[in-house]
Structure 1
Amino acid sequence: MRRAGTALLAVLLATAPALAQQRPGGGRTPSHSEHPNERLFGRATALEGDLLSVGGEEVRIMGIDAPDPGQMCKNRYGSRYDCFAIAKGVLKSMIGDADVECTIAERDRNRQMKGECRVRGIDLGAAMVARGWAFAFRSLTPVYQQSEAYAQSKKLGMWAGQVEKPWEWRSRQLRETAR
């Protein structure tokens, strides 16, 4: 019995590094995050509702997903509008002329930086989700679920009408172009 316990302990210790790199979704954590917690600070431009250029470096706001270029939504009256452009405009207006600070958590497989970005101490991801112009990306993190529930309950932003979640919209676009 004692040898079986020792053998089990040896196996666990040998596999611990690999298990520690496992993501909740099953994939391995990419080794691309050469500089975890790297900070970028400076003037920023909104490129999308969840993508910034900070000092010329692109940073995807981690934990949220905003409408993609070409994605349309419907308002409460059923009229279509460009929710991508509005989400981008909302992020742009939140930034204004202020400097943005981003803490980079990782680089994805395409080497794009992902992180938490703040302006005047305000978490831009939380603000976009709470205003209803981005979705909490629940498969990545539960951090913004309450902000999304608030926006949904108050019918803010895209929640005022009909919206297709960006990841579902992208999947539909791929299926339609594959036909």
Structure 2
Amino acid sequence: MLRLCSWFVLAMGLTTAVLAAEVSGTLRVIDGDTVDVGGTRIRIFGIDAPERDQPCTTLSGQNWGCGDWVTQQVRDLFEGQAARCTPLDQDRYGRIVASCFVAGEDMGKTLVSVGLAYAYRRYSYDYDLDEKAAFVAARGIHGFALDSPARYRLTRIRGRVASDPDCRIKGNINAAGDRIYHMPGQAFYDRTGIRPEQGERWFCSEAQARASGWRPARR
């Protein structure tokens, strides 16, 4: 029992030390609210951006991959620049949750202000007014119809049924790390589940899947 308690205290001490240390380095964008800074995976505090496979709907009723678009916009703004992040927490995937700054600019505030992310009010109201201003001006994602990222994640938890009937192509990563997409009607389509936490995703078209680096299933 004493050994178990000692291990717990040591683990807590290490976690506290990791969170206390500032993270800095060159920034690489993973998606709209996740980046790598100096080799450390960071979930940006206080914001929630559309998932990479999340679709939006235009006013004319056309679906398109706005999650990919958001990721590219964030890359255009911040990719390759020097970033400084202050850790605040750690999420269930082991990522550091942190406030990040590039050239003194608060990344979270910027992304919400230009309409590339929502204020994540479940955890913080820091960017509440920034989102409201972006909504009134119909900036970025506020010019389209889409579920909140949190709701979208809930609708696809099982991973086998698409939340959007127009985006039913399954982007699977097999044990060898090959990125393969499965079309409805193919042999392994029904049994394939999508695990977003492992990088798998849904696609709205074969062109989108191929452009994102996936190849077609052989059967």
Q: TM-score, normalised by structure 2?
A: 0.63
Superposition pairs for residues 89-100 of structure 1, below 5 Å? Answer: 89-100=72-83
The structure whose RCO (Cα within 8 Å, separation 6+) is larger is: 1
Determine the structure 2 residue equivalent to 1:169. Answer: 152
Deviation of 1:33 after TM superposition, in Å, equals 4.1
Determine the structure 2 residue equivalent to 1:86. Answer: 69
Determine the structure 2 residue equivalent to 1:35. Answer: 18
Determine the structure 2 residue equivalent to 1:130. Answer: 113
Q: 1:166 is matched by which residue type in structure 2?
A: P
Deviation of 1:50 after TM superposition, in Å, equals 0.2
> Distance between the aligned counterparts of 1:150 and 1:123, measured in 2?
17
Determine the structure 2 residue equivalent to 1:12. Answer: none
Q: 2:117 is matched by which residue type in structure 1?
A: A
Residue correspondences, number: 149
Deviation of 1:123 after TM superposition, in Å, equals 0.8
The structure in which a higher percent of residues are helix is 1
> Distance between the aligned counterparts of 1:165 and 1:33, measured in 2?
32
Tell me if the contact between 1:75 and 1:158 (Cα under 8 Å) persists in the aligned partners: no
Identity fraction in percent: 26
Tell me if the contact between 1:49 and 1:91 (Cα under 8 Å) persists in the aligned partners: yes
Q: 1:161 is matched by which residue type in structure 2?
A: F
Deviation of 1:68 after TM superposition, in Å, equals 1.1
Return the match for 2:98 from 115, 128, 134. Answer: 115
Determine the structure 2 residue equivalent to 1:58. Answer: 41
Tell me if the contact between 1:33 and 1:106 (Cα under 8 Å) persists in the aligned partners: no
> Distance between the aligned counterparts of 1:98 and 1:109, measured in 2?
27
Q: 1:67 is matched by which residue type in structure 2?
A: P
> Distance between the aligned counterparts of 1:65 and 1:82, measured in 2?
17
Deviation string 1:14-59 (CA, Å, 9 cap, x unpaired) is: xxxxxxxxxxxxxxxxx54443342111111110100001111110
Tell me if the contact between 2:52 and 2:71 (Cα under 8 Å) persists in the aligned partners: no
Determine the structure 2 residue equivalent to 1:46. Answer: 29
Tell me if the contact between 1:77 and 1:161 (Cα under 8 Å) persists in the aligned partners: no
Deviation of 1:176 after TM superposition, in Å, equals 7.2
Q: 2:127 is matched by which residue type in structure 1?
A: Y
Tell me if the contact between 1:103 and 1:117 (Cα under 8 Å) persists in the aligned partners: yes
Tell me if the contact between 2:19 and 2:96 (Cα under 8 Å) persists in the aligned partners: no
